[in-house]
Structures are given as structure tokens and as C-alpha cells.
Amino acid sequence: MRIADFKIEEWMNKYSEAAEFDLTTTCISPLSINELPFSKEIFDVKLGYGDIEGSLRLKTAIKSLYCNQDVENITVTHGAIGANQLVFLSLLEKGDEVVSIVPTYQQHYSIPEALGCNVKLYFLEEKNNWLPDLEKLEQILTSKTKLLCINSPNNPTGSVIPDNMLDEIVKIAQRKNVWILSDEVYRGLNLTGNPYSKSVADIYEKGISVGSMSKTYSLPGLRVGWIAGRLDLINEINHQRQYNTISVSALDDYFAAIALENRDFIAARNFEIMQKGVCILKEWLKQNPRFSCVLPSGGTTVLLKYNYDMPSREFCRNLQKRSGVALLPGETMEMEGYVRLGYCADNLKQALEKISEY
């Protein structure tokens, strides 16, 4: 299968690690094993394949994140990246029409394209606070559309689809008989109100929710994600899954269950980091009028507009060479003229000062 270059991953692999200050990150400072309340039982975990579709303990913990799911409606995957891919492989065939709301994680359009689908991109606009215009969205979905891909809280804009707007999106999808794949890896990271927005799997019979330990739970190294959805779809996904997953590591499964069972302390820690990051960002924006952004409602990133006549790749390369700060060029997300900034990054304040100096 030929597939487009995964532009953000390529950029980050090349430049982020070498940066003195990495603001390309979407993760909130990862937790160490020491910070998890594990017990001596860890030494009894058998390092076999384990429970193939995820342990009952882990699936029970995942189920508690939803209002309307059962353990049978959930399957455990290699991160959200594995989850998204399995959804596409299970649902789509050559010629199917897919609508993807962008900017988003590139999987949401490049995998359907590689499968031979007819992919239509619906671009969010800054003037709408990076939220969809429902009339326009309704127009772009046709009777041929099979799948709509959404991502909220959104990477990279930090926008959060309000629950009542999600209800409207579901109504539109219902009218057009369209599946919704909702990438909810940042669910639980709303800055105001309930940190957890509604999940599409809970409110729509053709809603598929993807989650992961990487962002909300600060454990990207576990490589654990999941899919929640209708039983017949989960059965089909499990059929595909046998070809590319078998199981996740027994250790990952164990630590993920512990983290979800004790998620309150992770949430409190992350909320503090997010709040602090927003305050630092706000102050910096006041003093640096050549940059602007819609402040985040959730998630871990913002899309920063820069007022320089320079393509975003060039801007980011020059910035990193001269100041040691890595940002992600908007071009890698089909958003030229912008850069993505991870406002939960360590050393945010010093990194922003370096940008000002530059």
C-alpha cells in the first residue's frame, strides 16, 4: 500500500529530539513508573501474550470513562494510532467517500486516501474559533459519505466541540447515515467546565470513539489505546486486529489499568500544568504582537499565527537553528502561515523568551 509521507512525524523525528526546547510536543510531561501506585503484584505479571483483546481489569477501567459502554464494546490497541488504523481498515473500501475535518492528525485523511477512498477535507477556520460551521458541514456530507472523522479536543488548535454542538453533528450524521470516527485522545483535558466532553460512542449508534493513555494520562510510552463502539463493529475490528496486534504488552496493560483506576491524581497534575501553560502563553502573546492565536479550550496545543512573510518550514528551521526552540510548521498539517505550539511543554517560559529574542 502506497501512503503519503506522515509530515508531522517526519518533521518531529528529524528535529524535535535535537532541540534544546521542544515545543512540538503534544504530551504533558510523561509520568515515570515510580509515580504510579503499583504494588508487588507487578512481579507476578506473566509475560505471555496476556489477554488478547485487553485484560478484563483494563477494559473495566476504560469502560468507566464512558456512560454507555460495556467491556464487550471495547477493544485495546497499540495506542490511538493503532486504533485509528484498525477503524479505517475495518470500515473502509476503495471508492468509499470520507470527510475529514482538518487540521487534524494526518492518519484521518492519508490512510483513507491510501485505501483508495474519495477523501474530502473540511477546513476549520480561525474566525469560527476553529469550530465547525454546521451548515457547511452538512453540505459537504453527501448520501455517498460513509465516514466522518473528527478530533476534539483538537490537535493542533486546542478547540473543543461543545456537547450541544456534538449532538448537532450526530443529528447531521444520522440524517445522512454516516459513521463518525471521533479521535478523543485528548478527552478529559478540557480547561473549563467538565474536563470530559461527551463521547460519540455514548450518543450515536454509528459513533466510534478512540482513546489512549498518551495525552490525558501522560503515559505515551505504554503504547495503549482503545476503541469503543457498536458490538458488530468491534467484532469486525477484532477480526482485523488479529493480523496486526495480537495483544498489547502485558506490562503496558497492567500499568494502564492502574493509571486509569487512579486517574484523579493524574488529572489534577495535568490540569495544573495546563493552567500554568495558558497563563504563560497569554502573557507572552501580550508582549509579542507578531504572534496571535485562539486560546485553547482544551488539549495540549495551539495553532499560532505568525506575522512574518516566510513559509512555516523555513520559519521553524531558522528559529530552531538560532534559538534552539522547536515548533511544528503549519504546512505539515496543511495549515501554512501557522505553527503548532505545545503549551504544556517543560520550560515553556524560557522557550518563549528565546522566541522573543529571536
The residue ranges that bind ligand PLP (CB under 6 A) are 26, 79-81, 105, 151, 155, 183, 185, 212, 214, 220, 225
Q: What are phi and psi of 24, to 5 degrees?
A: -85, -10
Residue least distant from ligand PLP (Cβ): 79
Nearer to ligand PLP, 298 or 354 (CB): 298
Give me the residue label for grid cell 503515559. Answer: 219
End-to-end CA distance of the chain, in Å?
43
Nearer to ligand PLP, 9 or 236 (CB): 9
Q: How far is the CB of 289 from ligand PLP (least distance, A)?
A: 29
Nearer to ligand PLP, 73 or 212 (CB): 212
Q: All 3 cell numbers of residue 118? A: 474519495
CA 175 to chain CA mean position, Å: 27
**14: CB partners within 8 A, 6+ apart:** none
Strands (E) in the chain, as ranges, are 21-22, 74-77, 97-102, 118-123, 145-151, 179-183, 207-212, 225-228, 291-292, 301-306, 325-326, 328-329, 338-342
Nearer to ligand PLP, 65 or 284 (CB): 65
Percent composition of the chain: helix, strand, coil (DSSP 3-state, to 5) = 45, 15, 40
**Pairing state between β 325-326 and 21-22:** parallel
**Cα angle, residue 118 at apex, residues 115 and 119 outer, rounded to 5°:** 95
**Is residue 223 classed as helix, strand or coil in its secondary structure?**
coil
**219: CB partners within 8 A, 6+ apart:** 30, 31, 213, 255, 256, 259
Nearer to ligand PLP, 199 or 212 (CB): 212
Nearer to ligand PLP, 90 or 323 (CB): 90
Q: How far is the CB of 307 from ligand PLP (least distance, A)?
A: 27
CA-based nearest residue to 52, from 248, 215, 224, 199 = 248
Q: All 3 cell numbers of residue 109? A: 485523511
Nearer to ligand PLP, 156 or 354 (CB): 156
Q: How far is the CB of 72 from ligand PLP (least distance, A)?
A: 22
**Is residue 224 classed as helix, strand or coil in its secondary structure?**
coil
Q: How far is the CB of 347 from ligand PLP (least distance, A)?
A: 20
Nearer to ligand PLP, 346 or 353 (CB): 346
